[in-house]
Amino acid sequence: LQGERVDFTGQVNNYKNAAAQIGNLLGGNNNSTAGKYLGKCIFFIAIGSNDYINNYFQPLFYTTGSKYSPESYAGLLIQKFADQLMTLHKYGARKFAMVGVGPIGCSPNMLAQYSADGATCVQKVDSTIEIFNGKLIELIDRLNSNLSDSKFTYINVGGIFQEILDNPIGFGFKVANAGCCGLGRNRGLVTCLPHQPPCRNRDEYLFWDAFHPTEAVNTIIARRTYAAEKETDAYPVDVRRLAL
């Protein structure tokens, strides 16, 4: 229904193949040739949301939520992530911008299912996400200490998005708890379907569908990701300084 997807391990494998092809095109016989060029690239990586939205918080389909505590599940994800990052590093990647998981407990889907008033964010969900983000920051500190030839930074999308949620009107938004396109409570029970007309004033919505922010929100996040407006937007540096 939602189409084919390539998981992060598959994407890492695709990158390994691409790095090898670049090395061959440049006339090299090892990773160092391609690495001279790939090391200048910024690898922007955002993972974790689907592991929670489409797995951990789907008890009708997966046993993950009952099998793992929030702490142990976050640890499992971070360990897998660390292994994948080391593979990218082995094949030339040197600059990494890693995005924290946003407050998915405030998404129309979670509000529709678990919020009594349809507006109050689901604290149980967001507390679980905070554990993952905390461990991701710890991983970044560890990698920056152990890999002196590389730079890792944390993009605090959750913090930026929460700021918008706390004062939507101040950022120009009128609807913070419903999708611009979708069906059911909060327009969040069924996400945007083909031929379903979206709202006409999408720039006034925080959410495009049951899960994803609108372009208007993403524009704010992108601007503050590149050039932090607050110290909390990125750690230890924003993307502008990561590129140096």
Distances (CA, A) of 239 to 68, 69, 193, 229: 34, 33, 34, 12
- Cβ atoms of 156 and 234 within 8 Å: the answer is yes
Question: What pLDDT score does 172 carry?
Answer: 97
**Using H for helix, E for strand and C for coil, what is the string for 176-214?**
EEEECCEECHHHCCEECCCCCCCCCCHHHEEECCCCCEC
229, 51, 208, 99 alpha-carbon torsion, rounded to 10°? 20
Question: Cβ atoms within 10 A of the Cβ of 237, count?
Answer: 16
Q: What is the pLDDT of residue 31?
A: 60
- Give 107's DSSP letter: S
Which CATH fold would you assign to the domain 8-243?
Rossmann fold (3.40.50)
CA distances from 216 to 121, 209, 229 (A): 21, 13, 17
Question: pLDDT tens track of the chain, all 244 residues?
Answer: 456 789 999 999 999 999 989 888 887 655 667 888 899 999 999 999 999 999 999 999 999 999 999 999 999 999 999 999 999 999 999 999 999 999 999 999 999 999 999 999 999 999 999 999 999 999 999 999 999 999 999 999 999 999 999 999 999 999 999 999 999 999 999 989 888 999 999 999 999 999 999 999 999 999 999 999 999 999 999 999 999 9
Ranges of each domain in the chain: 8-243
What tokens appear for 46 in the block?
């955002």
The predicted structure's pLDDT at residue 29: 58
Q: Which of 161, 163, 167, 206 is nearest to 186 (CA)?
A: 206
